[in-house]
Amino acid sequence: MTPYFWLSLAIIVVGFVISMFRILREYERGVIFMLGRYYRVKGPGLILVVPLIQQMVKVDLRIRVLDVPTQDVISRDNVSVKVNAVLYFRVLDAEKAVINVEDFYAATSQLSQTTLRSVLGKHELDEMLASRDELNSDIQEILDEQTDNWGIKVTNVEIKHVDLDEGMVRVIARQAEAERIRRAKVIHANGEKEASQVLLEAAKTLSEQPQALQLRYLQTLTEVANERSSTIVFPLPMDLIESFTSRGGREQ
């Protein structure tokens, strides 16, 4: 055999040995298949993969962000809205993520869309707008339970936008205005009620203490004198008028 043959053979052997070494980062895992059957999960760091006998599927364990496309949802009170959300998930079990589902990213995306429509369709529009935290928790719990067999952990779900048509926006604006008017009337009525109670207590106090009425009379004169006006109003006590009327009645 010629030296070129041995040189070529040495190059092939060295290349074969070098191709056995793989380096996986800290957030990566390698699912190893030996002759088509699952063997084990390796990584991170330096690992050995025998060419032609073993195959490796690399899996990223970092948290992924999935933007759920806008979905047309009909609420329980028959209001059509457009809702989109964002989903955060990560792979916990690389073996399940590779073996149990063909494409775990696409499968999680489709499942999140259907879950978003089904969960929001059970709630009214006011709940969608005011109780987003509860809805986020419900969607996350359902997705986390269904993706557990895929080795995926759903860490968070956030509803980003709830879009309404212009007609529904005007209806909600009129409803909010009517609610504000109702609150204003209730506050005004409560103020009148409290004022009447205070005035009743003040009248009782003045009737029991005549000196208090005289002090109130003098205070009113002081307030009128402080104003820059050419007209001065003197309050006339009702007791004085009653004395004159009673005297006129006796004379008659």
Sign of the Cα pseudo-torsion (219, 222, 224, 227, in order): negative
Going by DSSP bridges, is the β-strand pair 45-48/54-60 parallel, antiparallel, or unpaired? unpaired
pTM value? 0.66
Residue pair 135/127 in contact (Cβ under 8 Å)? The answer is yes
Q: How far is Cα 112 from Cα 69, in angstroms, rounded to an integer?
A: 10
Task: Kindly provide the b/e burial profile for residues 126-142, where b requires at least 16 CB atoms within 10 angstroms of the residue's own CB.
Answer: ebbeeeeeebbebbbeb
Contacts of 109 (CB under 8 A, 6+ apart): 66, 68
Cβ(115)–Cβ(139) below 8 Å: yes
pLDDT in tens, 19-30: 889 999 999 999
Q: Could you tell me the domains of the chain?
A: 3-59 (no CATH), 64-164 (3.30.479.30), 209-240 (no CATH)
Strands 21-24 and 45-48, by their bridges, are antiparallel
Q: By the 8 A CB rule, do 64 and 70 touch?
A: no
- pLDDT, one tens digit per residue, over 5-59 is 777 878 888 888 888 899 999 999 999 999 999 999 998 999 999 988 999 999 9
